[in-house]
């Protein structure tokens, strides 16, 4: 009679792995999902059992059994923006060890965002949800809190939920303090027109508040503030207005690196030397910032995505969060777009046409 050979990997279940390792099914699930509360010895025993049996988790089968969609859903506005791309890359990297698939729900309007949230609360029922930069209305937030899947918020502090966020006002203060330390007093601001976005974004306003607060402590006022839709071209147009106006600044703080690159483009068009006549500070430190030589406020964008992914897998495995709100660090990164304030009065450039 032929002895029992190694069970076919296709037929191996999570129960087989648990029995082989001498642990409960929940422990195997936590190991697979990267969750905590598993000792190193137990984790090694489970991993050895997985290898011995050739077990490969079928997320589709598990999800069907639990009535769930086999994916972590990422809800993100304007997914093609550089900071959103970097954040999503971090999330994908963070989920890769568990093998959990990722689904991206891009939202372009507030109405679209609400529809996506209602879909998640309806029949979709994913493994977990990561929300980037959005804060829906109170009814949706309450329903998400009561949902039977975990939710992690990035770039927003949401009461009752697990959130990863930065202190935007502190970021604005860092930018202004840097320019002030270089002798700049004529400082302007270019930011997002959040009031008309409909999303309820506040990061640009908070960064502006940090800038004006730092100036006020020195007895100074902001030279000018212009806002518009979030794009390099719009920022370039706004910068041309500032740099050809009567009270031309020697320093400009922007709410993103994308907008700062637009300011640099305006300076080139007008023949304004950076940083000899104009210093520019961005925000985020996305990939383009280094190649542009842009001084910026670095926030851990990719890292926030990775940490959110680790949190969502841990929560999905049944773990409790050690902290609900996690403030992420900011850092001033100095490059060649900032320098000492000019000692002589700046000359107004000729206005460009065409």
Q: Which tens digits make up the pLDDT trace of 202-223?
A: 999 999 999 999 999 999 999 9
The domains of the chain, with CATH numbers, are: 9-57 (1.10.260.40), 68-166+301-328 (3.40.50.2300), 168-300 (3.40.50.2300)
Greatest Cα pair distance, the chain, in angstroms, is 98
What's 318's DSSP letter?
Answer: T
Question: Of 42-46, 209-213, 259-263, which range is least confident?
Answer: 42-46
Cβ(306)–Cβ(91) under 8 Å? yes
pLDDT of residue 240: 98
Going across the sheet that includes 162-165, the strands are 102-107, 69-77, 126-132, 151-154, 162-165, 325-327
Q: What confidence tier does 62 reach under pLDDT thresholds 50, 70, 90?
A: low
Q: What confidence tier does 35 reach under pLDDT thresholds 50, 70, 90?
A: low
pLDDT reading at 248 higher than 50: yes
pLDDT of residue 159: 85
244 or 10, which is more confident?
A: 244
Going from the C-alpha of 252 to that of each of 31, 75, 183, 239, 274, the distances in angstroms are 49, 32, 13, 9, 11
pLDDT reading at 9 higher than 80: no
Question: Of 68-77, 227-236, 294-303, which range is least confident?
Answer: 68-77
Question: Of 42-56, 83-97, 304-318, which range is least confident?
Answer: 42-56
Q: What percent of the chain has pLDDT over 70?
A: 88
Q: What is the mean pLDDT of residues 46-64?
A: 69
Mean of per-residue pLDDT scores for the chain? 87
Q: What percent of the chain has pLDDT over 90?
A: 54
pLDDT reading at 151 higher than 50: yes
Q: What is the mean pLDDT of residues 294-300?
A: 97
Q: What is the mean pLDDT of residues 230-242?
A: 96
pLDDT reading at 112 higher than 70: yes
pLDDT of residue 220: 97
Nearest Cα to Cα of residue 79 among 133, 141, 152: 133
pLDDT of residue 354: 42
pLDDT reading at 265 higher than 80: yes
Cβ(173)–Cβ(134) under 8 Å? no
pTM of the predicted structure, to 2 decimals: 0.77
pLDDT of residue 353: 44
Q: What confidence tier does 121 reach under pLDDT thresholds 50, 70, 90?
A: confident
Length of the chain: 354
pLDDT reading at 170 higher than 90: yes
Residues 316-342: tens digit of each pLDDT: 888 888 888 999 999 999 999 999 999
257 or 319, which is more confident?
A: 257
Structure-block tokens of residue 350: 């000729």
Please state the φ and ψ torsions of residue 313, each to the nearest 5 degrees.
-70, -35
pLDDT of residue 351: 53
pLDDT reading at 352 higher than 60: no
pLDDT of residue 305: 96
pLDDT of residue 345: 65
């Amino acid at each position: 009679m032929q002895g029992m050979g190694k069970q076919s990997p296709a037929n191996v279940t999570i129960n087989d792995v648990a029995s082989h390792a001498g642990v409960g099914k929940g422990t195997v699930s936590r190991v697979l999902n990267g969750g905590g509360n598993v000792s190193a010895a137990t984790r090694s025993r489970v991993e050895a059992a997985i290898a011995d049996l050739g077990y490969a988790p079928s997320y589709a089968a598990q999800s069907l059994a639990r009535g769930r969609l086999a994916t972590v859903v990422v809800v993100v506005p304007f997914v093609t923006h550089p900071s959103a791309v970097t954040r999503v890359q971090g999330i994908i990297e963070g989920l890769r060890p568990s093998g959990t698939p990722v689904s991206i729900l891009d939202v372009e309007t507030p109405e679209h965002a609400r529809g996506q949230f209602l879909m998640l609360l309806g029949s979709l029922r994913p493994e977990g949800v990561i929300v980037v930069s959005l804060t829906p209305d109170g009814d949706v937030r309450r329903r998400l809190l009561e949902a039977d899947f975990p939710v992690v918020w990035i770039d927003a502090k949401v009461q009752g939920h697990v959130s990863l966020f930065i202190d935007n006002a502190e970021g604005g203060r860092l930018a202004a303090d840097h320019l002030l330390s270089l002798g700049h007093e004529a400082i302007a601001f270019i930011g997002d027109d959040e009031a008309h976005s409909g999303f309820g974004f506040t990061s640009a306003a908070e960064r502006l508040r940090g800038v004006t607060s730092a100036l006020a402590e020195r007895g100074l006022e902001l030279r000018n503030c212009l806002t518009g839709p979030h794009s390099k071209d719009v920022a370039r147009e706004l910068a041309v207005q500032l740099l050809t106006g009567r009270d031309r600044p020697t320093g400009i703080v922007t709410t993103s690196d994308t907008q700062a690159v637009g300011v640099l483009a305006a300076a080139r068009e007008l023949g304004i030397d950076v940083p000899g006549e104009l210093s520019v500070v961005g925000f985020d430190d996305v990939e383009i910032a280094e190649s542009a030589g842009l001084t910026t406020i670095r926030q851990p964008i990719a890292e926030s995505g990775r940490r959110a992914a680790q949190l969502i897998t841990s929560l999905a495995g049944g773990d409790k969060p050690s902290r609900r709100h996690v403030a992420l660090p900011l850092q001033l990164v100095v490059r060649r777009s900032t320098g000492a304030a000019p000692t002589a009065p700046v000359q107004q450039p000729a206005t460009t046409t065409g």
